[in-house]
Amino acid sequence: MLFAVLGTLALGAASFACVMLWPPYHGCELGPAHVARRDAQRVQSAAVLFLSGAPDARCADIESLVESGLLDPELALDPWGTRYLVTCDGYEVHVRSAGRDTKAGTDDDVDGW
């Protein structure tokens, strides 16, 4: 019983390290969907900054975010090599990855929110 509890605690600590300390902790790999969600949130933050920078700004696409210096070019593509899709509804910004099948609008899409 004691070993089961200790094993569970060790597994929990390792999971915590992978989620909370990554990338400084390189002993764990995040799945592509997790990476896509995390990076989509970063793209979303850049797009919100882009919109707030000018009152008449249009919804930013990935190219505009990279050109403006708000987004690192390495974040332009999702883990499957497809550009993130940025859509805006007024000042509300949504970012989505097309997912593993690289086709937007299918069940494996990954939302950033």
Digit-by-digit pLDDT tens for the chain (113 residues) are 544 444 454 545 555 555 555 555 555 678 999 999 999 999 999 999 998 887 777 889 999 999 999 999 999 999 999 999 999 987 789 999 999 999 999 999 999 87
For residues 107 and 57, membership in a common domain is answered with yes
Report the SS3 class of residue 34.
helix
For residues 50 and 24, membership in a common domain is answered with no
Task: Indicate whether this model's pTM tops 0.85.
Answer: no
For residues 68 and 37, membership in a common domain is answered with yes
Count how many domains the chain has: 2
- Let me know if 12 is exposed, middle or buried by CB neighbors in 10 A (0-12, 13-18, 19+): exposed
Note down the domain range covering 100.
31-111
